Structure 1
Amino acid sequence: MAMTQTQRLGIFSLLALVMAATRLHHFDAIPDASWGVFFLAGFWLRGSARWAFPLLMALAVLVDFFAITSQGLSFWSHYCVSAGYWFLVPSYFALWLGGSWLARHQAGLRVSTLGLTALALLVSEGVCYLLSNGSFYWLSPVTVAARSLNGWFANLGDWYLPFLTTTAMYVAIGAVFHVLVSLLARTADSSRTKLAG
């Protein structure tokens, strides 16, 4: 389904709002939607990566800056903002590429699309997780007695399922939204065709 630039801006605005609202309170009752947002943006805004991805990335950094400095802490000396922090760019881009790949290969509202969605999400979220977790573990000045592959694998195991579950939850919400809008559009097209005929 082709979208107008106005529709793309509307989708972008909605995704940016969701990310900003949930990322600001990273560990509150409503989990951070950033990973799901980047995957869904890749799907819905495929072909707009030149402007949409950098703007979403800048928003993510801006929200982090606000969240850290509003606590009276220095952004640049915060333990989360190290050389590993900047690996969020390729991490989030992996999610964007997963959504974009899905947009190219999906077959509309069919069961096969559900399988492709699961595949795209698992692969892109896995790459994102390896990049973000690995860069944080190996490059951030966190308190780790001695960094080791065994320690990293244990760390990977501790956090993988919660990140996957949260991302899948937001992608599922986006998928339900997508199905509802698609069905409404079909119904509207069908009504117009009957009226024209």
Structure 2
Amino acid sequence: MSLSSPTRIGIFALLAILMAATRLHHFGALPDASWAVFFLAGFYLRGSLRWAFPTLMALAVVVDYLVITGQGLNFWTHYCVSPAYWFLLPAYLSLTLGGAWLNKRYHGLGVRELGLLAGSAFVSISVCYLISNGSFYWLSEVVSEPSFAGWMKNLSDWYLPYLRTTGLYLGVAAAIHAVAAMTLRALGAVGEHRTAKH
């Protein structure tokens, strides 16, 4: 799937706005869409990831900085900014690569593509979760006595909410994508019909 430069920039802007708006209020009415944003960036911006991925990563850090310092706290000593914070780079990269993998195999709307979306989303969300949760559990000072059993409990407590939230965002994005694709196809058919009549 190839997109024009203006379309890619528009999609990037929408994804950046969605991430900034929901990440600012991490536990607000709308849950954080960051994981879905990185997956969608991989899908829609596969040819532009050299600039899109680092820019989205920088935006995520800037938003975190604004949220933490906005609460009157020191960014560098906040419990979220432990050595594990830097593992968000490979964690978010796994989501982006999952989206890029899907893009490479996308041939239009179909049941096959829906299955590929579900599979690639599940795998990349799971890898992201293992990296981000595992690094936080084992490397941050929040957990005073880490153990394998404690990590398994932590994994089970948070995995399904992250999977569900990201899956819901990706489901909405897939529905919007399908409507847009069908609309463009219908408009193309109308244009061809008018051209044929002349």
Answer yes or no: same fold by TM over 0.5.
yes
Matches within 5 A, 1:63-74: 63-74=63-74
1: CA distance, partners of 2:62 / 2:144 = 31
SS at match of 1:47: helix
Tell me the equivalent position of 2:40.
Answer: 40
What is the root-mean-square deviation in Å for CA atoms of aligned residues? 0.8
Tell me the equivalent position of 2:136.
Answer: 136
SS at match of 1:130: helix
Tell me the equivalent position of 2:186.
Answer: 187
SS at match of 2:103: helix
2: CA distance, partners of 1:107 / 1:9 = 22
Tell me the equivalent position of 1:113.
Answer: 113
- State the Cα deviation string for residues 60-97 of structure 1 (Å, max 9, x = none): 00000000000000000000001100100100000000
In structure 1, list runs of 5 or more residues that go unmatched: none
Tell me the CA shift for residue 167 of structure 1: 0.3
Matches within 5 A, 1:158-177: 158-177=157-176
Tell me the equivalent position of 2:78.
Answer: 78
| Equivalent position amino acid for 1:127 in 2 | V
Scaled by the length of structure 2, the TM-score of the pair is 0.97
2: CA distance, partners of 1:86 / 1:145 = 20
Identity score, percent: 57
Higher helix share: 2
SS at match of 1:120: helix
2: CA distance, partners of 1:88 / 1:70 = 21
| Equivalent position amino acid for 1:139 in 2 | L
- State the Cα deviation string for residues 24-49 of structure 1 (Å, max 9, x = none): 01011210000001011111111111
Tell me the equivalent position of 2:21.
Answer: 21
